[in-house]
Amino acid sequence: MKKEWHEYLQAETKKAFEDINNSPLTNLLFICMKNYNGKFGTIKKNDVLNNNLIINDLDDHIHYTYVTIDDLLLAGWIID
């Protein structure tokens, strides 16, 4: 069975990213993210605004790039 976040958490992440200027994320430079595999990362608000979905893994310092918000969600990332 594939491990994933509850649909509500995925929907809230998608909603916040799609309307980032009208969400609680408005005043942030970086957005904290978490993955169901236990990893944590950050994404720059400006990158989200420019549809450059690049998450910086805080443990491994690896950058994960996604084409769409749905790809990011399928990879297990949500707003922390």
Q: Is 19 helix (H, G, I), strand (E, B) or coil?
A: coil
Q: Residue 40 has what pLDDT?
A: 98
Pick from 22, 13, 3: which is nearest to 43 by CA?
13
Give the residue, 45 or 26, on which the prediction is more confident. Answer: 45
Is the distance from CB of 66 to CB of 72 less than 8 angstroms? yes
DSSP letter, residue 23: S
Mean pLDDT, residues 52-65 taken together: 96
State yes or no: pLDDT of 45 exceeds 80. yes
Query: With bands split at pLDDT 50, 70 and 90, how would you rate the model's confidence at 26?
Result: confident
Amino acid at position 50, single letter: N
Residue 37 C-alpha from the chain's centroid: 14
The answer to which of 16-25, 34-43, 62-71 has the lowest mean pLDDT is: 16-25
